[in-house]
Structure 1
Amino acid sequence: MTFRRDTAAGLTALCLALAGCSEDNGAGVSAYDEARKPAVVQLLGDADRAMAAGQLADAGRKLDAARGLAPNDPALWVAIARLRFRGGEHLTAIEAADRALELGPDYPPALLMRAMMVRDAHGFAAALPWFEAALAADPNYRDGWAEYAATLGDAGEAGAMLEAVRKLTDVAPADDRVPYLQAVLAARGGEYALARSLLARSGMAARGVPAALQLDAVISLAEGNADSAAVILEGLVARQPSHAKLRELLAKAMLESGRGDELIARFGPETGLREASPYLVMLVARAYEQRGDRVSAAPLLAWAMRGASTAPVVLALREGLPQPTATARQAGSAGDWGTARANMQALGKRFPASADVSVLSGDVLLGAGDPRAALTAYSRATQVKRPWPLARKLMQAYASSGDAASVDTLLVRHVAGEPDNASALIALAERYGQRGDWMRAARLLDHAIALGAGHDPALLGLRLRAAQSLSQPNDARRYAALLAEVHPRHLVPH
């Protein structure tokens, strides 16, 4: 199988968003908690339960009542921040989190919330000091240890993650996240039978926790149970239709379970879009090959081998998107930027604190040829989150504005914050290669290869150029051979 993406790649970011999986906030009793009125405790607990049930309006009423009794309680403002974030009011959620820290600078849940916000906006490495501050404030804070362990794992610090999981075991041996996090470590180490046992012990997949379900699917793929993986992934994709990694995993599961016709029907139309990933295109091509249709497979194989465009695609169309979002994307894709901008202006007035709306507004502005206005919209969103797709759009906007220095700075910071993001590593290596700094480029590419990206023809071609430029003939021969292996010999039918 050529152009393979290792199953382990599906483990990326499995540990995130674990807060709230326990039955309480996992913190010890602080001076803030001891001073809290029983009525406020009841209201905060009721609000948490309402949020967990998706009853956000009811949770809001409970928090309004608590605010009337204890307006300066940091726990109240942590809860308000959580509610606002759940409701899509991302920017005002940050304001509430800041208020919680102002009222309780050593309050562990407030520090933990800031840690998770920093993680989303600035990457794993930048968030670690905030997690450590929360744990210094309460060394027995189990939510803190769980999220700290997860973040260490996603930052590529497997050894430190293991130590944090051991500490969580000491603090809360019955916490479901202990076997879950152990399962993540086992799966990343290729010990899938052990990972399966630990995941079952956690019970989190049975409860429908998305990260646990994704892990369940990855383990099933590794064990050869592609049918089971596909069932799980179909449910996850229905809940998160824009999640590219889940969509790729689903396509892989469908192919391996012999459902090539369904794969073609579902993902085939996307292969004609600029935003289609080379990996997804390759899977569709192999589905055509699976049914003996080399005529349809050949051009897709050729396209996939050329690799992805370096420029991100804005306003990508996806099934299952909300109507206002879909309308703006459809208008932009058709070149009707006036309608797209009017739609986004109306949406922005309705949801002024939404980071998602800010990203979509930036997409419309960038697509309409106004990169400076797009930067303003994207910058609002980056106060809340900065995933790789958004970072790529920011870099395109900076490049279109003639600000190459900001492109380099943003890319370096993204790699520092997410050192195991193979796509970001390759992009930075390309920048170094363009400047002739092949030593740094080679180091980045070697790390990407170690992460499982060594079947990407674009990466191998760049690594070959690095070896040639560095006068490393042995490496050059090795990467030339690897590049020949991943390129199919025949792209046309005979």
Structure 2
Amino acid sequence: MRLARFLTVLGLAAVLIAAPLAALPDVQQGPINAARSALQKGDGIAAEAALRNAIKAGAPRAAIAAWMGEAFLYQGELLKAREWLGPGQFTPESAGRGWRALGRLERLEGNLPAAGKAYDRALSYTPRDAQLWVDIGRLRYLGGEQIQAVDAAERALVAEPDNVRALEFRAQLLRDQSGWAAALPLFERALELAPEDLSLLSGYAATLGELGRTTEMLAVTRKMIEVAPKHPYAFYLQAVLAARAGKIDLARNLLARTGDRLQAMPAGLELQGLLELEAGNANVAAGLLEPLAQRQGANQKLQLLLARALYEAGDYGKLHERYDALAARPDAPAYLLVLLARAHEEQGNRAAAAPLLDRAAAATIPALMPIPERDPIGVLALRWNSAPGVPETAVPYVRSLLAARDMRGAVAVAERFRQLHPGSSEALALWGDVALASGQAGAALQAYDQSAQVRFPETLLLRMGEAFDKAGRGRDAMIVTANYLAAFPGSRLAARMAASHRAFTGDWAGARALLENLRQRGGNRDVRLLADLSLAQLRTDDVKAARESAERAYALQRGSGVAAQALGMALAAAGEEPQRARDLLDKARRIGGDNPLLAEARTQLAK
């Protein structure tokens, strides 16, 4: 009887709690409805104004807390949002929205466990809320559960197939996994539903640009500026187009129109640094790039850009301080070796420059090695012990353990990281790296394949290529590389790998097409690329083009063995300047040793 009375009272309490919003007078409900419509458009200011009217009309706090908190989130006012959302006092009708907004607030402030709890509360009210599943997916992705994030995206689309945020999120995940072309239909479908949505337009424009559809990309950016005349990302994308076309001044002017609104965007800072460097402002470029390079030690393109900026600024001391250790590694980029050597020469130290130039001239392709870490391994160990599940502590520590050849330690740390984040593409890739370094190419490939199901950067393709090679599965490497290039046509690395594969199988016309495209896309100063292109042109009986490419390579780097070989072979094939050809072939043999191609060229000369 007591239990029955308790349940009766509990049921009556639930009715009383549910009643207020349903019974709100029009003078209160009207402004709340207006606020909800404003939030649907992402207009937090208009929503706040409408809710203030509801308060003046006597609306209770619980009836507007969810909406007011969300309005402040749209305005970036996180402290004010917490005042309304933090207590968790919502009406049953708005509770799902309120807990979802609180979860978003916690996520924005980096409180991931608290965000998860808030989303769990929201699910108990609105289990088929597509936006809630999108938010859960973004939380999972941020927390290293990328595989589970894909599942959340799919749940969102099942709940609401036409939800634009769900379509956008799935497109973003698909883009990382299967390439830009795969994501395009989802962006287009979402834009049919919301043609002026700036977030969708931004993603669509970037996708078109990566696919090489620049005219369409430009049209979309102009649409973005029509909708929001000061939208910084539209001008950034236009600046990227101008930079790719070699219009440096135009690109700088476009980027200047963004003001300081791209300071938190690494790609924007990198582009700004590159443009300043091309404009001759090396000191400015170095100042922009150095803080970014500190945070992105694994970004080789960025590191080389900073090295060039320091060299051109004449800051040789900082150049040596930052990059001498990297140059000592067997896998040091040839471009970095040349920069450091030139800096030594400028300082009158030719003895230090000579061995660096000799190594750069050899132009060998080194084996993959762990990315170097600036901090001592003991410091990295302490950081990892305090936070073993954080990527920023686990990944650098594993790299250092691999560099120190501590395989047992690397396996233990990588396995612990994988256990803590079983759905993380990063954890799977890291485990693959450890397996590859341990000689387990098959296990590495399995981990890499699982990682690529979620996110497939070109650095992963490179590691997969080495794993395929060590596993004796060269044909599989060719298939994966060809598929990757089809999905990510802008990848220079994939194009180089595909060109090598085609040359290996005797498809010299295909290899030549890929290499010539790379040359047109900024590879006209790449000695190795030009030498490879010269060989492909020879094999397709275009001796004149082969000599032109080889002359270009040799002019760029006269100390390069591969450049000397390419030019010697081209002269031998043309039957021109036989003595010069002999000298070049001898030079190539002295630098890099003998090989079948040199023997072939000597035979041609003898005839």
The TM-score, its normalising length taken from structure 2, stands at: 0.71
Q: Return the alpha-carbon distance in structure 2 between the equivalents of residues 26 and 404 of structure 1.
A: 52
Report the 3-state secondary structure (helix = DSSP H, G, I; strand = E; otherwise coil) of the residue aligned with 2:397. helix
The one of 117, 121, 127 equivalent to 2:183 is 127
- Once the two structures are superposed, the pairs formed by residues 188-199 of structure 1 within 5 Å of their partners are 188-199=244-255
Q: Return the alpha-carbon distance in structure 2 between the equivalents of residues 25 and 201 of structure 1.
A: 29
- Structure 1: gaps spanning 5 or more residues: 1-22
Shift of 1:243: 1.6
- The reply to whether residue 387 of structure 1 matches residue 462 of structure 2 is no
Report if the CA contact (8 A) 1:26-1:143 is conserved.
no
The one of 236, 254, 257 equivalent to 2:313 is 257
Shift of 1:359: 1.1
Change (3 A) 1:146 1:461: same
Deviations 1:186-215 (A, max 9, x none): 333333333333323223545422222122
Shift of 1:161: 1.1
- The reply to whether residue 484 of structure 1 matches residue 539 of structure 2 is no
Q: Return the alpha-carbon distance in structure 2 between the equivalents of residues 274 and 427 of structure 1.
A: 21
Which residue of 1 is the match for residue 442 of structure 2? 372
Q: Return the alpha-carbon distance in structure 2 between the equivalents of residues 207 and 120 of structure 1.
A: 24
Which residue of 1 is the match for residue 133 of structure 2? 77
Which residue of 2 is the match for residue 296 of structure 1? 352
Report if the CA contact (8 A) 1:26-1:142 is conserved.
no
Which residue of 2 is the match for residue 15 of structure 1? none
- Once the two structures are superposed, the pairs formed by residues 1-400 of structure 1 within 5 Å of their partners are 38-203=94-259, 205=261, 207-307=263-363, 309=365, 311=367, 313-319=368-374, 322-400=392-470
Q: Return the alpha-carbon distance in structure 1 between the equivalents of residues 272 and 294 of structure 2.
A: 17
Report if the CA contact (8 A) 1:395-1:406 is conserved.
no
Shift of 1:64: 2.7
Q: Return the alpha-carbon distance in structure 2 between the equivalents of residues 171 and 182 of structure 1.
A: 16
Which stretch has the larger CA shift, 250-259 or 137-146? 137-146
Which residue of 1 is the match for residue 577 of structure 2? none
Report if the CA contact (8 A) 1:47-1:59 is conserved.
yes
Which stretch has the larger CA shift, 466-475 or 178-187? 178-187
Shift of 1:326: 3.3
Shift of 1:387: 1.1
Change (3 A) 1:183 1:327: closer
Change (3 A) 1:395 1:490: closer
How many positions carry a matched residue from both structures?
A: 463
Report the 3-state secondary structure (helix = DSSP H, G, I; strand = E; otherwise coil) of the residue aligned with 1:202. coil
Q: Return the alpha-carbon distance in structure 1 between the equivalents of residues 235 and 526 of structure 2.
A: 34
Report if the CA contact (8 A) 1:315-1:360 is conserved.
no
Report if the CA contact (8 A) 2:175-2:182 is conserved.
yes
Report the 3-state secondary structure (helix = DSSP H, G, I; strand = E; otherwise coil) of the residue aligned with 1:455. coil
Report if the CA contact (8 A) 2:432-2:447 is conserved.
yes
Change (3 A) 1:175 1:63: farther
**Which letter does structure 2 place at the counterpart of 1:234?**
E
CA RMSD of aligned residues (A): 2.7
Report the 3-state secondary structure (helix = DSSP H, G, I; strand = E; otherwise coil) of the residue aligned with 1:227. helix
Shift of 1:46: 4.2
Deviations 1:273-302 (A, max 9, x none): 233222223322222223222222222223
**Percent of residue pairs identical:** 35
Change (3 A) 1:129 1:289: farther
Change (3 A) 1:156 1:37: farther
Change (3 A) 1:42 1:200: farther
Q: Return the alpha-carbon distance in structure 1 between the equivalents of residues 413 and 357 of structure 2.
A: 38
Shift of 1:58: 4.0
Q: Which has the higher helix share?
A: 2
Which residue of 2 is the match for residue 447 of structure 1? 517
- Structure 2: gaps spanning 5 or more residues: 1-37, 44-66, 68-91, 381-391, 562-607
Shift of 1:146: 0.6
Which residue of 1 is the match for residue 493 of structure 2? 423
Q: Return the alpha-carbon distance in structure 1 between the equivalents of residues 414 and 430 of structure 2.
A: 8
Higher RCO (CA 8 Å, separation ≥ 6 residues): 1
**Which letter does structure 1 place at the counterpart of 2:218?**
L
The one of 534, 537, 558 equivalent to 1:467 is 537
Q: Return the alpha-carbon distance in structure 1 between the equivalents of residues 40 and 448 of structure 2.
A: 32
**Which letter does structure 2 place at the counterpart of 1:276?**
A
Change (3 A) 1:187 1:42: farther
Deviations 1:230-251 (A, max 9, x none): 1221111222222222111111
The TM-score, its normalising length taken from structure 1, stands at: 0.86
Change (3 A) 1:385 1:277: farther
Query: Which of the two has higher C-alpha Rg?
Result: 2
**Which letter does structure 2 place at the counterpart of 1:80?**
I
Shift of 1:25: 9.2
Shift of 1:488: 3.0
Shift of 1:63: 2.2
